Amino acid sequence: MTADPTADRPPTVVVTGAAGWLGQNLIRALAPERARVRALVLQAEEAPLLELAGPSVEVVVGDVRDPVVVDALFDDVAGATVIHAAGVIHPAGRTRPFFDVNVGGTQLVLDRARRGGTGRFVHVSSNSPFGANARPTDRFTEDSPTNPYMGYGKSKLEAESLVVRAAEQGDVDAVILRPPWFYGPWAPGRQAQFLGAIRKGRFPLVGDGRQQRSMIYTGNLVDACLCAETATDVTGQAFWVADDEPYELREIFGGIREALAAEGLPVARRSLPALPRFGAEVATRLDAALQAADRYVQPLHVLGELKDTIACDISGARLALGYAPKVSLVEGMRQAIRWSRDRGEAL
């Protein structure tokens, strides 16, 4: 029950969410190795950058919620691997897209994958269906009970349920991955803002900073997807994937400062501003109240989560998928910083 590195991989891969953080990294890993990489993007202006990754990339433009678009995505791809990475994490103002995209879009992709006779279906989920660990020493495993965190967590849990049901019915040969906090190249603008705030000494450290977080470098997550593609005897199962070990929040911030300095950027010497845990608890209550009224405010949501330990044990993925993360925090952050600077982003 592990990945076979010598296994023949399908020549065609279908990637949803191809213009997203994970999708951009996936396309660049797949393009040199596969005959066809069918990539779904939302906006037409996102297509040229992906097409530059190689002649094997075929871009389909449109919404994952549109049956006509998804029909085009799955036209003539029998036997293809599907990596379903499309999803909404931070919607613009309203919470409804969590369910329209993360649940409705997943159902549509599953249905078209079944009708198209595709191969392994790798579904990219999240830590959010499980909420926070009860204690800093706890670790989520494949046997942990669900406890979805607000709208995003509920939508991703529903999506997982759809995937498991489809696998149990024999509709698709599906595997679920549960990655936590991403970092690395091809990030949205919020990563540069975060790194810049750390560099300038302006990002708050909540509580004593001993709460722990599992994180995953985007290159490690690409590796996890490729391991899941060829693993045997894992249909219908879900696996936690992350870097080797969780990091304390203060260790994350310290690692970022170390990476910034190693890349030649001036780093503020002063300590990061301290925010009592109570402040983050207030943010969580406000976030919950707003989401109940179909409103989403990203800074409130992010601040509320910083008080929590959200940490996982990846031994299941090591054993069943052959997953072995290669990049750790400081090295991965240096790659993220270089990528941002190469593109002229202010840190």
- Check whether 125 has a pLDDT greater than 60: yes
Give the mean pLDDT of the chain. Answer: 96
Q: What is the value of pTM for the model shown?
A: 0.96
Q: pLDDT for 57-78, tens place per residue?
A: 999 999 999 999 999 999 999 9
Residue 60 parent element (H or E): strand 57-61
Q: pLDDT for 19-30, tens place per residue?
A: 999 999 999 999
- Predicted local confidence at residue 205, as pLDDT: 95
Range 262-275 average pLDDT: 94
Domain ranges in the chain are 12-186+215-245+310-325
Q: Would strands 36-41 and 12-16 be described as parallel, antiparallel, or unpaired? A: parallel
- Check whether 4 has a pLDDT greater than 60: no
Residue 82 vs residues 10, 43, 137, 149: alpha-carbon distances, Å: 10, 20, 35, 27
Q: 221 and 241 in contact (C-beta within 8 Å)?
A: yes
- Check whether 7 has a pLDDT greater than 80: no
Residue 57 phi/psi, 5° resolution? -80, 125
- CATH class of the domain whose range is 12-186+215-245+310-325: alpha beta
Distance, CA of 123 to CA of 177 (rounded, Å) = 6
CA-wise closest residue to 126 among 187, 65, 176: 176
Range 175-189 average pLDDT: 96
Instruction: Specify the 3-state DSSP secondary structure of 13.
Output: strand
Distance, CA of 70 to CA of 115 (rounded, Å) = 11
- Predicted local confidence at residue 8, as pLDDT: 81
Q: pLDDT for 279-294, tens place per residue?
A: 999 999 999 999 999 9
- Predicted local confidence at residue 253, as pLDDT: 97
Q: Indicate the DSSP class of residue 44.
A: G
CA-wise closest residue to 308 among 213, 215, 180: 213
Q: pLDDT for 191-245, tens place per residue?
A: 999 999 999 999 999 999 999 999 999 999 999 999 999 999 999 999 999 999 9
- Predicted local confidence at residue 96, as pLDDT: 95
Q: Nearest 5 degrees, angle CA 203-CA 204-CA 207?
A: 155
* DSSP codes joined into one string, 161-202: HHHHHHHHTTS-EEEEEE--EEESSS--HHHHHHHHHHHTT-
Distance, CA of 252 to CA of 206 (rounded, Å) = 12
268: tokens are 């503020």
- Check whether 6 has a pLDDT greater than 80: no
Residue 321 parent element (H or E): helix 315-321
- Check whether 158 has a pLDDT greater than 80: yes
